[in-house]
Amino acid sequence: MSLSRVIAFDGIDALAATHTQAMKVQSAAVRATKTGARIGDVYTKIVAAYGEVGSDAWRHSPVGGGTGFLAEAFLAGCAGANDVVIKAREAFVWASTIPGTRAQDTYLVGGSSGTATCITHTPDWPMADVDCGDGTILRQHDVLVRGVSIRRKRSSVSKTRTWPG
């Protein structure tokens, strides 16, 4: 399993903006990861999400893919992966990187809906509600701000960050 968490000690405004972008890309990947989808379709949604937040960071950093399998078969954007069909009980790591931050978790595809569920949830970590633009809200791990408690509304992401000093 893989995950990344971000901690800020100062300069939260710039970091919050870039992490919001990473969470939006991550949410697009999660929404596209479902039983019957092709890896190439997920990759296309990821690249489009990077474009929507004004970044081409996908060109410089792997975006993720299947975990626990041969990387050549499941790494999104790699030759041979485009036609691989996602099945129930497969795990995927999506690593949405914007320079200075990363949203990364491991997801398991399954359940009656065939959708992806985060299996690397970190209890007590600040979370953000990310609006996927289709009425769906996904919870993503937000920036932990050391010794600060703030609540604000930023575009389509509602953030609450608290942590004892």
- Contact by Cβ (8 Å): 64, 29: yes
Class assignment of domain 7-122?
alpha beta
Q: Classify residue 140 as left (phi > 0), alpha (psi -120 to 50) or beta.
A: beta
Classify residue 153 as exposed, middle or buried by CB count within 10 Å of its CB (0-12, 13-18, 19+): exposed
Assign 6 a pLDDT band (cuts: 50, 70, 90). very high
Pairwise CA distance, residues 17 & 107, whole Å: 24
Encoding tokens for residue 154?
């930023």
pLDDT value at residue 1: 81
pLDDT digits over 32-49, tens only? 999 999 988 999 999 999
Give the model's pLDDT for residue 162: 45
Pairing of strands 91-98, 64-66: antiparallel
Can you tell me the mean pLDDT for 7-20? 87
CA of 51: how far to CAs of 30, 46, 56, 145, in Å? Answer: 17, 9, 7, 28
Alpha carbons 37 and 156: distance in angstroms, whole number? 26
Q: What tokens appear for 131 in the block?
A: 């609006």
The structure's pTM equals: 0.83
Give the tens place of pLDDT for each residue, 99-156: 999 999 999 998 777 889 999 999 989 999 998 878 889 999 999 988 654 444 444 4
DSSP state of 59: G
Using 50, 70 and 90 to split pLDDT, how confident is the model at 12?
A: confident
First to last CA, the chain: 29
The string of pLDDT tens digits covering residues 104-116 is 999 999 877 788 9
For residues 88 and 158, which has the higher predicted lDDT (pLDDT)?
Answer: 88
